């Protein structure tokens, strides 16, 4: 048993997630947090804040399609939210700007290896509030070509939008939409990066949400957006484009 | 300190402990297979109702064999070369009849990766299963190394050379019926021994353990269960879980699948996100089965995206002009 406890101690010490006090500020104790902070926030004010909730499975069954929900609606005056994964080869996943929508968004991502998945919400006072969670995975999600890139079928349906709205019983509307797109990362051999870059949701009067997406968002992206109570659009227009200039333009109705 | 951090530490500690335990337990890689007689000439090596692990080396599956005057018929060869070898040794302790046939019920790794230990000419399966082993065998084998570690050493995918036709098959004094069904995977073989009344259901039936669904088609699976239910069964040998003279594997597997299908449909139809579905507690009946929470989450990952897609495509949307 002496050998066993030595081995156990050794494994814990070698783990990248257990660090001495020098990195204690990060609740997820990621060796990459220092780099993340520099890359995303420079010298702006950053606080860890449990009001920014990131929900994802502790263990991801499918590294190509890891469900993630970000909810920063408990914070006042959210201007912008950035989502990233410390250990992904492409760390930046997406950014969104809530207009008349709540500061929450659910989507699916590709993970190359186990990593913290974090969301940072910038409030009106310029402070970034960071929340996150660890997702464990066998990995490989970023270097596999999309199924779309292997079959010609998607080409005729590229940027097609399927969407639907649900009433959340007096709490505003829920919008879910899925867009046909391979979302290739450019990291699979001889498959160039090909991904949606921007999406804008709007009703007849106002902008509801702007989403900027990057390579780690899963193939055929699916988004769940909750509108604030009182916004009650009969239909929502979705516009956007990918990095090759192909346009997205569709209406989502009830 | 967040909850997430604590959960992560706990997982890490658990994983480390598992590795250490595995190092100690696996020193001799002995699965401890001890065949249990369930009817005349009929034996089952019963696996544990667990997930694959470094600790159990993949021994979570049932293998069975029928000793006849013409030779031994083996149903499913287990998760690794070592398992196959130890199964063969266990058979040799019971009979000196030669191995006549090894049938793989379907192409999941725990049902065919022991093939290597048996004579190549004895290996047989339905055509769809052979095709599945050819297509997915290598990646399943790699994945088993990740899940069960050194227990898998030396295991190579061995594709059955003989494709079998469904229908009656008499071996010695045993009148077998080979049933070509589907739903757990694209091709599922069940073997009914009319002489003893033993049904070898493969993974079409689970007992006291939540069913797995990585290649499932639930409506087809339920139809296959109805076919099995109509047979005059005396002893039921599920793919996972204890053999029984009762019918619990039928009701448990059917109830789980119906509940899962209904949960997934109504979740997608009411606009719930996958993260919200993952969070839901299981009803008491379902929670009682081994590995239920983990299988529920895995099943959502396999089946929810298609249900979401269907719910969205039925919603009104399209290109604006
Ligand atoms: Zn199976």
Question: Using an 8 Å Cβ cutoff, are A206 and A100 in contact?
Answer: yes
CA dihedral B42, B43, B46, B52 (to 10 degrees): -90
Q: How many helices (H) and strands (E) does chain A have?
A: 4, 15
pLDDT tens, residue by residue, B95-109? 999 999 999 999 999
Task: Determine which of A60-64, B84-88, B210-214 has the lowest per-residue pLDDT on average.
Answer: A60-64
CB–CB contact B308 A251 (8 Å): no
Residue A39 Cα, gap to closest chain B Cα (Å)? 23
Q: Looking at the complex, does the CB of residue A177 fall below 8 Å from at least one CB of chain B?
A: yes
Return the HEC string of A122-159: EECCCCEEEEEEEEECCCCCCCCCCHHHHCCCHHHHCC
Helix axes A2-14, B3-25, angle to 10 degrees: 140
Q: Which single residue is written with the structure tokens 């804040």?
A: A49
Comparing CA positions, the residue from B274, B220, B209, B13 lying closest to residue A61 is: B274
pLDDT at B131 over 60: yes
Residue A254 Cα, gap to closest chain B Cα (Å)? 7
pLDDT at B23 over 60: no
**Quick one: pLDDT at residue B315?**
57
Domain ranges of chain B: 27-247
Average pLDDT per 10 consecutive residues for chain A, totaling 254 residues: 40 36 70 96 94 95 94 96 97 95 96 96 96 88 74 81 90 93 90 94 92 96 92 90 95 88
Q: Looking at the complex, does the CB of residue A67 fall below 8 Å from at least one CB of chain B?
A: yes
> Mean pLDDT across the stretch B210-225?
97
User: How far apart, in whole angstroms, are the C-alpha atoms of residue B64 and residue A152?
Assistant: 45
User: How far apart, in whole angstroms, are the C-alpha atoms of residue B174 and residue A129?
Assistant: 71
User: How far apart, in whole angstroms, are the C-alpha atoms of residue A51 and residue A70?
Assistant: 10
Comparing CA positions, the residue from A174, A175, A176, A187 lying closest to residue A139 is: A187
pLDDT tens, residue by residue, B261-293? 999 999 999 999 999 999 899 999 999 999 999
User: How far apart, in whole angstroms, are the C-alpha atoms of residue A202 and residue A20?
Assistant: 48
Domains of chain A as residue ranges with CATH: 2-253 (2.60.40.2470)
**Which class in CATH covers the domain with range B27-247?**
alpha beta
Share of chain B above pLDDT 70, in %: 89
User: Which value does ipTM take for this structure?
Assistant: 0.86
CB–CB contact B273 A62 (8 Å): no
Q: CB neighbours of B225 closer than 8 A, spacing ≥ 6? A: B183, B204, B205, B250, B253, B254, B257
pLDDT at B10 over 60: no
**Quick one: pLDDT at residue A9?**
41
* pTM of the predicted model as reported, rounded to 2 decimal places: 0.86
Residue A174 Cα, gap to closest chain B Cα (Å)? 8
């Amino acid at each position: 048993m002496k050998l066993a406890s030595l081995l156990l101690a050794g494994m814990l010490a070698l783990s990248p997630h257990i660090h001495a006090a020098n990195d204690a500020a990060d609740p997820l104790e990621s060796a990459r947090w220092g780099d993340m902070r520099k890359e995303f926030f420079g010298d702006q004010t950053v606080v860890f804040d449990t009001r920014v909730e990131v929900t994802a499975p502790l263990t991801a069954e499918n590294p190509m399609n890891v469900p993630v929900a970000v909810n920063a609606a408990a914070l006042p005056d959210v201007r912008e939210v950035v989502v990233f994964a410390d250990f992904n080869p492409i760390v930046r996943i997406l950014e969104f700007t809530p207009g008349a929508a709540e500061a929450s968004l659910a989507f699916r991502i590709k993970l190359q290896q186990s990593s913290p998945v974090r969301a940072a919400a910038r409030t009106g006072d310029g402070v970034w509030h960071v929340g996150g969670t660890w997702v464990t995975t066998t990995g490989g999600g970023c270097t596999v070509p999309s199924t779309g890139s292997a079959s010609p079928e998607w080409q005729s349906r590229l940027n097609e939008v399927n969407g639907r709205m649900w009433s959340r019983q007096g709490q505003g509307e829920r919008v879910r939409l899925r867009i046909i797109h391979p979302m290739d990362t450019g990291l699979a051999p001889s498959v160039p990066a090909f991904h949606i870059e921007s999406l804008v949701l709007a009703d007849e009067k106002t902008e509801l949400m702007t989403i900027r997406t990057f390579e780690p968002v899963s193939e055929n992206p699916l988004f769940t957006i909750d509108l604030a109570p009182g916004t009650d659009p009969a239909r929502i227009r979705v516009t956007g484009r990918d990095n090759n200039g192909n346009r997205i333009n569709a209406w989502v109705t009830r | 300190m967040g909850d997430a951090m604590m959960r992560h530490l706990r997982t890490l500690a658990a994983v480390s402990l598992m590795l250490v335990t595995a190092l100690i337990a696996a020193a001799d890689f002995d699965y401890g297979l001890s065949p249990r007689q369930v009817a005349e000439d009929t034996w089952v090596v019963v696996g544990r109702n667990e997930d694959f692990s470094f600790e159990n080396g993949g021994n979570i599956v049932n293998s069975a064999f029928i000793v006849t005057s013409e030779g031994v018929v083996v149903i499913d060869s287990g998760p690794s070369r070592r398992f196959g070898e130890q199964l063969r040794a266990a058979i040799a302790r019971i009979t000196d009849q030669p191995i006549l046939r090894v049938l793989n019920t379907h192409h999941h790794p725990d049902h065919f990766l022991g093939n290597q230990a048996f004579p190549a000419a004895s290996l047989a399966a339905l055509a769809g299963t052979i095709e599945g082993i050819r297509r997915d065998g290598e990646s399943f084998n790699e994945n088993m190394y990740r899940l069960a570690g050194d227990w898998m050493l030396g295991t190579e995918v061995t594709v059955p050379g003989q494709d079998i036709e469904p229908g009656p098959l008499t071996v010695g004094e045993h009148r077998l019926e080979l049933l070509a069904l589907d739903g757990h995977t694209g091709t599922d073989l069940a073997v009914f021994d009319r002489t003893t009344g033993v049904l070898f259901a493969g993974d079409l039936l689970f007992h006291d353990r939540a069913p797995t669904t990585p290649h499932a088609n639930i409506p087809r699976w339920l139809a296959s269960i109805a076919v099995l239910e109509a047979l005059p069964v005396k002893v039921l040998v599920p793919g996972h879980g204890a053999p029984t003279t009762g019918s619990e594997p039928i009701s448990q597997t059917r109830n789980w699948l119906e509940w899962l299908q209904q949960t997934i449909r109504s979740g997608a139809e009411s606009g719930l996100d996958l993260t919200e579905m993952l969070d839901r507690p299981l009803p008491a009946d379902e929670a009682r089965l081994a590995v239920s929470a983990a299988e529920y989450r895995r099943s959502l990952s396999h089946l929810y995206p298609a249900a979401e897609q269907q719910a969205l495509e039925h919603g009104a949307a399209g290109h604006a002009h």
